[in-house]
Structure 1
């Protein structure tokens, strides 16, 4: 496949995905914090609950989660696209497979929102389980991605 992109552009495209993913890892940690605050608010009583409600954690968690969903899917597709543009193929290995799994997990997690809004505790528990699994995979992905970036830098 002949690419119309210059070698310089193709090289720098390699760093779009890793930078975006590290940013999303940080945002994911913030989303987890907000989710824990939502849970605290739900379980609180009296004045403590009134004070926690002022933080609007539920709204902020939902908004950050929506942004994460959009950017994670975009970043995953973008990472695969750049790999294909630069190499003419995808490298099927643990990093790619875990990334595809993460993309599926975040989609399933987000799909539970309507059920959680209606008070379904099974959906809430599943959402939490999926997201903590996602977060664990995300941390592993971040470090395995650093190894890939190091290979790219040594080949330059």
Structure 2
């Protein structure tokens, strides 16, 4: 049994991954903001610390991070699936390789959570460094992704 999608469905599927990734980039920036607030809360003292604790930045950061992990993995797999459905192959190049790298890095970053919860400073530093690398790659991915979408629109 083969599943054949209509040309219109195949065409519009091309835009799901880029839209999802732009939303995830914005969500990543928000997660970075929350992470910085967690660090600020950890370093604060007295009344300032009491005020910052009310923001529950640690809980929000953890929740947004979990959503990011799930959606980035789903988005990466989905992007590859749509490319394969529409072209019968994957285009192995910098965009794909950086995307796979980002997906691996976010999984590794998330896996540090139990160590951070136990107070391991090395895990916090590694988590922060990995996430800034991911943000840098993500920004570059967004730019190269726009170029890919432009090619799709030109060839339509």
Specify the TM-score bucket, using the shorter chain as the normaliser: over 0.9
- Whole-angstrom CA distance in 2 between matches of 1:136 and 1:154: 28
**Counterparts of 2:15 and 2:107 in 1: how far apart (Å)?**
24
Q: Compute the TM-score of the two structures, normalised by the length of structure 2.
A: 0.98
Deviations 1:101-147 (A, max 9, x none): 00000000000000000000000000000000000000000000000
Question: How many Å separate the matches in 2 of 1:83 and 1:9?
Answer: 13
Match in the other structure for 2:106: 106
* 1:1-156 → structure 2 map (5 Å cutoff): 3-156=3-156
- Please state whether the residue corresponding to 1:82 is helix, strand or coil: helix
For these two proteins, the number of residue pairs brought into alignment is 155
- Cα RMSD between the aligned structures? 0.7
Consecutive unaligned residues of structure 2, counting only runs of 5 or more, are none
Q: Give CA deviations for 1:43-84 in whole Å, capped at 9, x if unaligned.
A: 000000000000000000000000000000000000000000
State how far apart, in whole Å, the 2-side matches of 1:132 and 1:82 are. 28
SS of the aligned residue for 1:4 comes to coil
Partners of 1:132 and 1:52 in 2: CA distance: 23
- Runs of 4+ aligned structure 1 residues displaced above 3 Å come to none
How far is the alpha carbon of 1:3 from its aligned partner?
Answer: 4.8
Gaps of 5+ in 1: none
Q: Secondary structure at the match of 2:119?
A: coil
Q: Distance in 2 between matches of 1:35 and 1:11?
A: 38
Mapped contact 1:34–1:58 kept (Cα < 8 A): yes
1:3 and 1:85 in contact (8 A); partners too = no
